[in-house]
Each structure stands twice: as structure tokens, then as C-alpha cells.
Amino acid sequence: MATVTYRQALRDTLRAEMLRDENVLLMGEEIGLFEGSYKITEGLLKEFGPRRVRDTPIAEEGFVGAAIGAAMLGLRPVVEIMTINFSLLALDQIVNHAAKIYGMFGGQASVPLVIRTPGGGGQQLGATHSQNVELFYAFIPGLKVVAPSTPAEASAMLKAAIRDDDPVLFLENLALYNTKGELPDAIDAVEPAEIGRAAVTRPGTDITIIGYSRMARVAAEVADTLAAEGISAEVVDLRSLRPLDRETIVASVRRTGCAVVAEDDWLTYGIGAEIAATVQEGAFDWLDAPVRRVAMAEVPLPYAKSLETAALPSAGSLLTAVRATLAATGRALEPAS
Amino acid sequence: MTIDSVRGAPGDPGPAEPELVQLLTPEGQRVEHPDYPLELGADEVRALYRDLVTVRRIDLEAVALTRQGELGIWASLLGQEAAQIGSGRALGEHDMVFPTYREHGVAWCRDVDPLNLLGLFRGVNHGGWDPAKYGFHLYTIVIGSQTLHATGYAMGIQRDGVLGTPSAGATIAYFGDGATSQGDVNESFVFASVFNAPIVFFCQNNQWAISEPLEKQTRIPLYRRAQGYGFPGVRVDGNDVFACLAVTRKALEAARTGQGPTFIEAYTYRMGAHTTTDDPTRYRLKAEEEAWKLKDPIERVKAYLVRGDLADSAFFEEVEADAKAMARELRAACLALPDPEPLSIFENVYAEPHPLMTEEQEQFAAYLASFEEASR
């Protein structure tokens, strides 16, 4: 095993998939010579040439639409949209075409397209460049949306996404790119993930914290902090937002009796609302306290560093919510021995 | 090397020199153009020179402040001063500007305090100037979106029924070469054309969209696209402040008198990085930058002033000293800008009172107060 960054895992996996399958190609703005705004495609133009690593005009709807056409004819394009914010310019192609072609063409043509795109605030990129709008895509039948939180998961999930015959929105996060984790030395040894399965990344008994992408990582940190106080928090990393693994969520809450959702989007109508509804449908009788949600302040994200930090969900705000939820259960918690 | 990007077919280098309107050569030689007569007094030329030097100095100070961690980011206008000052000084009282994030020179022409620009990039406010008062809209960060806003604004002017009268204004939308690939920019061309809107599309073709060269956006000179939409297009030497002034004046006047849109391609060069987070040495050749240095927009005006004996060394020294002093004051004022209050994040989300904002603000105030209690 080697310790690699999330960025490196993505890059190495893209390369491995391109070596494995001649039909895998990359398209997007600034991905060739510039090697991607976040350097995920580093060295790939040099290695595979412009036939398979294609810099496109600055036109998101254009290159996503073109990639859909390429995918319909059997190629496996992996499109990079510089940030998920720019995917709004391609919304019609993604929602009305990528997601619907298979059904509306009566199963005659599938769209094995991957759209890789990072969300996430915290980089002082301002309100129009710092949103988390994965919800828009998680809402759409016909799309799959995955949101891995570690290098190993990113690698396994990207392999699965590229090999999947349906369009997959692959959500990355700017704050995760430099985070590290273990990955097999030989990238070929990474098994493709099963899209649609959540993972219990920290087993626990007192409370369930449910997160995805960056917030799954924050949840794990918080679980560590709580463990030091003798509180056993279970962390569920959703990994996939559509399909959503309701079974794992419900099973965990039935074990712990209470839950907090940690999401990086806005609270009202957000991903957490769906999770909370899932919990009450499947574990209502097991709940000792209402489900709490921790999310971004419901404002366009400020550009000033201090204000941005204040608006984002953090380990601090998650910890506060966990304590409040535990207090609301009325349980007398055993102190750490 | 060729500086032109005319491409009849992939790999075809096209003509050696671009077909552009030029009134002042890189050597400072005044030339005439039959369609763009321009009479400028010595005072006016000296004022343009002062503008050019001042905005370059402001820009330099902002880059330095960013390098020192005082601004979050800065998009430098280095090399594009003439395109911005020339077009900016062509504007009239009733005209409305829709800028990108790089139009610091145009902002200067509209009397927007440069401290406001620094405040924006420092993150203490979102610009803080009144667009209506200055005829200068707030910076748009997303590529090309403002062209549609500008078109809508122009259609509004049209409906005011003022075109052709002294109170007529035009709009001018600024954007770059990369933006011309965007759907909304092309849609704005269609709308402006079919509604005959009073708008000038001012494209600063600075040759680069971050790392992507012009060839990634177009195979023909950009100004020729206008023909396909049904309005005139003209390519102007974007490093020639005289030509930018004359061409923009004519286009704005056409718009104000009901003759519809014009596309201006100001052919220039981004001498610096895309923004302070970019490093152009990764993707472009030094030789290209060196070639463009010879076409510097400021040096040619200086050469013209010297050649015609329109300014002495005392003038140039004074302009330099004034710009320096202004930069020093600007730096001090920037560092003195107060940080915004955390609770202010909830203030400008809605124009009207909103229960959720009030609730969140109260919750957040209590959260902040809990730290004060804890530290007591």
C-alpha cells in the first residue's frame, strides 16, 4: 500500500482506465496543456495525445453535449467540468439528455458518460464558484451521483463510474484534493466499487453521523473527538447520493437510536432532508431524539475568508449538533472508563 | 512568429498582419484611417497618457498586495490598458458598462474609486459602488453572462424611447476571447441583432483563456462573426488607445442613434497571468510575450508625445510620481479596510426581511456569544 492524495488517486485511476480501455477519453476546458485547474489530468495529454485528451472551447453545454453524443456511439468519455458551478451551464444537456436518452430512445442507446466535477467552499472563490448543487443531479432519475470521500473510494468509484453504462456525475470536493489515504501500489488491484452502497466507516453505538464527500471526512474526525470522551459515534459515509443506500442508513439508526446529518449544501430542501425523511420512515420507532442536520448557512457563500469560514459547516458545528442530539435523547451516558 | 490568429483551416497561419484599425503605430507614429477620423488636442493626449500610467500602477499595486496575502486574488489588466482607457474614455454620461472582473481601467474612467476594487478582491465587500450612479455595473465573475444582462438593459433603453435624443445612452458589454464560445454570449448577439438593441460588444481578445489559445475558440477572426449575426464587426488595435477611442465612440454613437449593435474586437495581449493563481510560463512561450512588449500601449503614446514635442520630461516624471503617490495611499487605505462583521453574511441575501435569515442570524449570534461566555 502507498499513501497518496485524493488528487493522485483520481489521476492514476484515470490513467489506468485509459490504458485498460481504448474507448475512454477525456474532454473539458483547460484539461490538456494546463492539466486541469486542479491538476487531475496531469501528464495525460503528454501520454495519450490530443486524440484522447481533448481541450475544448470554453463552453460547458457544448462539451457535455458532445460527450453525450460520443457516449451514445460507444465511447466512454470522462468530462471534467472545472467546478460544479459551471455545470449549471450544461444543465439542459445533463438533465434533459444524458439522463433521459436511454429511456426515451427505448433502451436503444445508453449514455456511458462520466462527469467529474468538484464542489465545495473554503477556497475563497466567491458565491458563484463555491456552491454544492449536487442535489440538482441527485434529484434526477436516469442519473447516478457518487461522492467519494477518500482516495481509495475515489479510485474504486471512478473505475465503477467509467465502466457503468449510465451517466454518472462524479462529485469531487476542492477541500479533499490534498487529503491522503492508502491505495494499493498497483492501481489495477483496486476493485471497482458498487455504486449505490454506503459504508459504515466508523462503527459505533451511541449516535449515527451521516455524511458524504468532505462532510464524511469531517464526521470521522468528530467521531474520533467523541471517542476520546467515551461517546461511540457511528459514521455512515453515503458514497452514493443516487442510488441512495437507505438500508445502511436505517440499519445504523436502528442500532444507535439517533442521528445527525452532515451536509455541505444548504439545509432547506437539501440532501439532509432526504436522509432525515429516510430515517423517520425506516427507524421512527427506534429514534430517541429528532434527527438534526448540519449544513451551510443559507446565504450565497461569502468571499471574505472569515465570513466564508463562518458560513460553512465544520467539525465544531457538527460536534455541537451531536451533543445537542445526545442531550435530547435523555440518556445518561456512561463516562469513559 | 505571426501575431495573427486568422485561421482558414487548422494549421493555416493566415496573413502575417491582422486586418485592424490603427491610428497610432507601436513606434508612436500617427496614422489616419478613412472611417475613423480623430482630432485630439495635446491636453487630451496627455490626459490619456496619465490614465494609462495610473491604471497600470493601480494594477501593479493590486498584484503586489495579492502576493503579500492582502487580497484573495487579482485579475491583472497588464497589457490591456489602451483597450480599456480608449473605450472607457469614449463613454458618455448616459452609457452603461457591463464589465468582467478585469475592467479596472474602465472602472477608472467611470470614477469608481479603485479602493472599491481592492475591497472587493480583499473580500470586505462585494464592490460597494452604486452601478446606476457610475454607469458601471458590478463585476461579473462567471464568463460571458453579463452580455445578456447588457442586452436586456439595452432593450430597456430602447423602450424608454430616448434613442436619437441627447439623453440617449448605450450599453457596452466587455468580455474576452474565451467568452465568445459561451452559449449566453452567442444568444446575446442574436437578441441584440433581432431587437436592434443599442449595445456595443467590446471583446478584448487578449489571445488567452487561461491556458487555451485563441485557436481553441475560433477559426476565423472573432470580429467577422458579427456578420453572421447581422451587425457590423470591427477589429481594432487594442494596444492603440487612439484607435480604441475612435472606434468605440463611433459604435456608441451608432447605438445611441438607433442604428443597433456593433461588435468590436480589440486585438491585444494579456501580458500577465490570467489571475494571480495562474502561471503562464507553463503554457506559453516567452518569445510571444517579448514580441507583444514591443507593442506596449503606453510606450507608443509616450513616443508620440515626445516626437511631437507635446510633453517634456517634467511631465512624465510628474505623472510617474503622482501614480506612485496614489498607489501608496491606496495601499494604506486597503490595509485599513475593516474586516466585515460575521453576522453580516445574512444581511444581503434578500432585499426584503426574511424569517429564515432572521432566525439564522439570531442562532449564529447566540453561537458566537457562547464562545465569549466560555472565555469568561
Check pLDDT > 60 for residue B147: yes
Closest alpha carbon within chain A to B341: A307
In the numeric block, which cell numbers belong to residue A272? Answer: 439532509
The per-residue pLDDT of chain B, averaged, comes to 93
The average pLDDT across B169-178 equals 97
Q: What is the pLDDT of residues B296-339, one digit of tens each?
A: 999 999 999 999 999 999 999 999 999 999 999 999 999 999 99
The average pLDDT across B346-365 equals 91
Check pLDDT > 70 for residue B9: no
Given A60, A153, A172, A234, the catalytic residue: A60
- B205: β partners: B267
The average pLDDT across B6-13 equals 45
Rounded to a whole number, what is the distance in Å from the CA of A198 to chain B's nearest CA?
31
CB contact under 8 A, A57 and B73: no
Please give the pLDDT value at position A332: 76
Size of interface A-B (CB pairs under 8 A): 90
Closest alpha carbon within chain B to A311: B345
Cα B355 from Cα B41, distance rounded (Å): 59
Name the band, by pLDDT with cuts 50, 70 and 90, for residue B18: low
CB contact under 8 A, A58 and B340: no
CB contact under 8 A, A57 and B216: yes
Q: Are B18 and B235 in contact (CB under 8 A)?
A: yes
Cα B273 from Cα B74, distance rounded (Å): 10
Contacting residues of A for B181, CB less than 8 Å apart: 57-59, 62
CB contact under 8 A, A297 and B356: no
Q: Is B187 an interface residue toward A (CB < 8 Å)?
A: no
Cα B221 from Cα B263, distance rounded (Å): 12
A2-189 and A199-329: identical CATH topology: yes
In the numeric block, which cell numbers belong to residue A90? Answer: 450544461
Contacting residues of A for B139, CB less than 8 Å apart: none
Cα B294 from Cα B297, distance rounded (Å): 9
Rounded to a whole number, what is the distance in Å from the CA of B261 to chain A's nearest CA?
23
Closest alpha carbon within chain A to B216: A57
Cα A201 from Cα A235, distance rounded (Å): 6
Q: Are B237 and B80 in contact (CB under 8 A)?
A: no
| Cis upstream peptide for B338 (omega within 30°) | no
The average pLDDT across A148-167 equals 98
Check pLDDT > 70 for residue B3: no
Q: What is the DSSP letter of A290?
A: P
Q: Would you call A98 helix, strand, or coil by DSSP?
A: helix
Check pLDDT > 50 for residue A250: yes
Measure Cα distances from A7 to A3, A36, A78, A325, B140 in Å. Answer: 12, 11, 16, 35, 30
Q: Would you call A121 helix, strand, or coil by DSSP?
A: coil
CB contact under 8 A, A56 and B209: no
> Mutate which of A299, A312, A323 to test chain B, going by most B C-beta atoms within 10 A?
A299
Name the band, by pLDDT with cuts 50, 70 and 90, for residue B374: confident
Q: Would you call A217 helix, strand, or coil by DSSP?
A: helix
CATH of A2-189, one of 3.40.50.970, 2.60.120.10, 3.40.50.12780, 3.40.50.2300: 3.40.50.970
Q: Which amino acid is at A10?
A: L
Q: How many Cα atoms within 13 Å fall on the side-chain side of residue A189?
A: 8
Name the band, by pLDDT with cuts 50, 70 and 90, for residue B68: very high
Q: Among A30, A300, A303, whose Cβ lies nearest the Cβ of B349? A: A300
In the sheet that holds B96-98, the strands lie side by side as: B96-98, B171-176, B199-205, B262-267, B233-237
Check pLDDT > 50 for residue B182: yes
The average pLDDT across B210-221 equals 94
The average pLDDT across A330-337 equals 66
CATH number of B3-335: 3.40.50.970
Rounded to a whole number, what is the distance in Å from the CA of A301 to chain B's nearest CA?
8
Q: What is the pLDDT of residues A163-213, one digit of tens each?
A: 999 999 999 999 999 999 999 999 999 999 999 999 999 999 999 999 999
Q: Is B346 an interface residue toward A (CB < 8 Å)?
A: yes
Contacts of B44 (CB under 8 A, 6+ apart): none
Q: Would you call A5 helix, strand, or coil by DSSP?
A: strand
Cα A146 from Cα A152, distance rounded (Å): 14
CB contact under 8 A, A305 and B181: no
Please give the pLDDT value at position B125: 84
* Helices B42-67 & B313-335 angle (0-180, nearest 10): 40
Q: Would you call A53 helix, strand, or coil by DSSP?
A: strand
Q: What is the pLDDT of residues A286-310, one digit of tens each?
A: 999 999 999 999 999 999 999 999 9
Domain locations along chain B: 3-335, 345-374
Contacting residues of B for A305, CB less than 8 Å apart: 72, 123
In the numeric block, which cell numbers belong to residue A156? Answer: 474504486
Contacts of A305 (CB under 8 A, 6+ apart): A124, B72, B123
Share of chain A above pLDDT 70, in %: 99
Q: Does the CA dihedral B324-B329-B334-B335 come out positive or negative?
A: positive
CB contact under 8 A, A303 and B360: no
Cα B133 from Cα B110, distance rounded (Å): 10
The average pLDDT across B184-211 equals 96
Contacting residues of A for B283, CB less than 8 Å apart: 33-34
Residues in chain B, total: 376
Closest alpha carbon within chain A to B284: A33
In the numeric block, which cell numbers belong to residue B165? Answer: 435624443
Q: Which amino acid is at B297?
A: P
3-state secondary structure chain B: CCCCCCCCCCCCCCCCCCCCECCECCCCCECCCCCCCCCCCHHHHHHHHHHHHHHHHHHHHHHHHHHCCCCCCCCCCCCCHHHHHHHHCCCCCCCEEECCCCCHHHHHHCCCCHHHHHHHHHCCCCCCCCHHHHCECCCCCCCCCHHHHHHHHHHHHHHHCCCCCCCCCCEEEEEECHHHHCHHHHHHHHHHHHCCCCEEEEEEECCEECCEEHHHCCCCCHHHHHHHHCCCEEEEECCCHHHHHHHHHHHHHHHHCCCCCEEEEEECCCCCCCCCCCCHHHCCCHHHHHHHHCCCHHHHHHHHHHHCCCCCHHHHHHHHHHHHHHHHHHHHHHHCCCCCCHHHHHCCCCCCCCHHHHHHHHHHHHHHHHHHHHHC
Rounded to a whole number, what is the distance in Å from the CA of B202 to chain A's nearest CA?
18
Bigger pLDDT: B85 vs B5: B85
Q: Are A118 and A68 in contact (CB under 8 A)?
A: no
**Could you confirm whether A129 is annotated as catalytic?**
yes
Instruction: Count CB neighbours of A286 within 10 A.
Output: 15
Q: Does the CA dihedral B154-B156-B162-B163 come out positive or negative?
A: positive
- What is the largest distance, in Å, between two alpha-carbon atoms of chain A? 64
Check pLDDT > 70 for residue B216: yes
CATH number of A199-329: 3.40.50.920
Share of chain A above pLDDT 90, in %: 95
In the numeric block, which cell numbers belong to residue A328? Answer: 435530547
Check pLDDT > 80 for residue B349: yes
In the numeric block, which cell numbers belong to residue A32? Answer: 490538456
Q: What is the pLDDT of residues A15-32, one digit of tens each?
A: 999 999 999 999 999 999
Domain locations along chain A: 2-189, 199-329
Which residues of B are annotated as catalytic? 270, 274, 283
Please give the pLDDT value at position B15: 47
Cα B65 from Cα B196, distance rounded (Å): 43
Please give the pLDDT value at position A334: 58
Check pLDDT > 80 for residue A335: no
The per-residue pLDDT of chain A, averaged, comes to 95
Q: What is the pLDDT of residues B72-119, one digit of tens each?
A: 999 999 999 999 999 999 999 999 999 999 999 999 999 999 999 999
Q: Is B143 an interface residue toward A (CB < 8 Å)?
A: yes
pTM of the entire structure?
0.88
Rounded to a whole number, what is the distance in Å from the CA of B14 to chain A's nearest CA?
20
